[in-house]
Amino acid sequence: MQTPSNITRDEILEFELMVTDDKGKYVVATHTVFLTAIASSPAQIDNPNPDLL
């Protein structure tokens, strides 16, 4: 899964709402971690950790 470096929190949340496959809960959970990482370290938005995606 690719995440644009200029993605916003609202865009991520909107993406979560669009997830309907059987891995939806996993995706939402990992994106929540991703959001937490951005919130705690804004610089990470330019170089997101692939492990969180």
- The mean pLDDT values, 10 residues at a time, for the chain of 53 residues are 58 57 60 64 56 57
User: pLDDT at position 14, please?
Assistant: 59
Count of the separate structural domains present in the chain: 1
Residue 31: what pLDDT?
Answer: 63
In the prediction, which pLDDT does 11 show? 61
Distances (CA, A) of 51 to 3, 7, 10: 12, 17, 21
Q: Please check whether residue 13 lies inside any domain of the structure.
A: yes
Structure tokens at 32: 């929540």
Say what the pLDDT of residue 27 is.
61
The model carries a pTM of 0.20
User: What does the alpha-carbon distance between residue 52 and residue 26 come to, in Å, rounded to a whole number?
Assistant: 11
Residue 23 covered by a domain: yes
- Range of 36's domain? 1-43
7 is a domain residue: yes
pLDDT at position 25 is: 60
